Structures are given as structure tokens and as C-alpha cells.
Amino acid sequence: NDVVTLGDSIFDLNGVIQETLEARAGTQFRDYTSSGAELKGGAFAPSVYEQYAAANNTNGNINTILMDGGGNDILIPATLFDPYGCRTQWYRWNPSRSCVNLITEQYYDAVDLLNQIDADGVNDVVWLGYYELPRGNTNLTKAINIGDDYLGYACEVATSASCSFVDPRGTVPANQVESDNIHPTPAGSVNLANQIEPVLFPLL
């Protein structure tokens, strides 16, 4: 009960990251992840903020949190109409100012959440970042890089929480991403679990 997972469909859709880590650890974690979850707010699923509140209200004896978050806050609008200009184009080589402002908002939300987690007495957080998306989503690479840089800084520098950032950029090939150009295949999920394990397991 003292290990909790929070986050979006990178964890939740096929469940293989958690299944792999649980099998290797010989125990189970409390899973609050939800496909479609945004970091804060959103209409598609309970946000990561809401997931944490539910976990804490159910049993506040939480020592370690494994999580991700913030990707859908960028990806959902970019997939629909890209109103923030996060996709690069031939006429726009970098994400727009509106996109960078959106990512900055996620940074502040991440810091606030991590500070709350620390204030609640959680010992450690492991935050999984996002890998580059292939094929039809390669024009989100620069936005993902900015987001990962911000998330890594939020986790390891800007918060009072003991937080370790797992950065999977450059490690997940296109053949380990589903045909939706977003989610990991089972092999991709095992790859991510392999990267999480040496960071997470010493904390268990």
C-alpha cells in the first residue's frame, strides 16, 4: 500500500510497465493511473492531481510514488486542432510562444504537486518523462524536448520533494511505439520498466 502509481496512458493503456515492475519486485503497487489523464484539470479522465488526492484519501501511508504526467496537456490539443502551435511546420520551425507558455504552466503545476507530495510526508518520487514520438507525430519532438527539460528541472531542482527524473529520450525506437504514434508497445513498456527499475527499486 505504500507504493503508488499515478499518471496517464503511458502507464495505464497496456499496463505492462507496472506488471513488469511488480513481477520483478515480488509485490503489488496501488495503481491510480488513467488513460487520458492530464496533469491538472481536463475532461477526459481524473487528472494526476485528482489521482494523488484519491490515493492519499484512501490511505495516506505513502512512501514512494512512481508517476508521469503533463504529456496529455500538450498532446490532446495538438492532436485535435493544435491551437497552441506545439507542432513544428515548414513555416514555423519551433513551437509557438503559446505552446511554450502552456508547457511553463505544466512546470508550475508539477512543482506545486511535488511540493504538496513532500508536505504530506511522501519519501520519494520517481517521475518518468516522455520519449520522442515517431512518424506522424515527429513534429512534436521540439515541444516534447522542452516539456521534458521543464519536468526534469521541476523534479530534481525546483521542488522540495525527493524526486528522481527518468528521461527516456533517445531510447524508444519507432518499432516500440504503437501505430497511433503515441503509446508504447509491450516491448516498449518493458524497455521503460528497465529504465525505471534501477531508480525505483533502491527506494522500495
Q: How many CB atoms lie within 10 A of CB 105?
A: 15
Sign of CA dihedral 18, 20, 23, 24: negative
**pLDDT digit string (tens) for 141-195?**
999 999 999 999 999 999 999 999 999 999 999 999 999 999 999 999 999 999 9
Mean pLDDT for 29-37 is 97
**What is the rounded CA–CA span in Å between residue 70 and residue 44?**
14
pLDDT of residue 42: 86
Rounded mean pLDDT of the chain? 97
Burial environment of residue 67 by CB neighbours within 10 A (0 to 12, 13 to 18, 19 or more): buried
**31: phi then psi, degrees, rounded to nearest 5:** -105, 115
**What is the rounded CA–CA span in Å between residue 164 and residue 43?**
29
- pLDDT over 90 (residue 109): yes
**pLDDT digit string (tens) for 51-75?**
999 999 999 999 999 999 999 999 9
The pTM of this model reads 0.97
Q: How many Cα atoms within 13 Å fall on the side-chain side of residue 134? A: 16
**What is the rounded CA–CA span in Å between residue 90 and residue 45?**
34
- pLDDT over 90 (residue 43): no
For the chain, what is the largest distance between any 2 Cα atoms, rounded to a whole number of angstroms? 52
Q: How many Cα atoms within 13 Å fall on the side-chain side of residue 82? A: 14
- Please provide the size of the chain in residues: 204
DSSP 105: H
pLDDT of residue 44: 84
Mean pLDDT for 94-110 is 97
Q: Determine the number of helices (DSSP H) and then strands (DSSP E) in the chain.
A: 7, 5
**What is the rounded CA–CA span in Å between residue 59 and residue 37?**
21
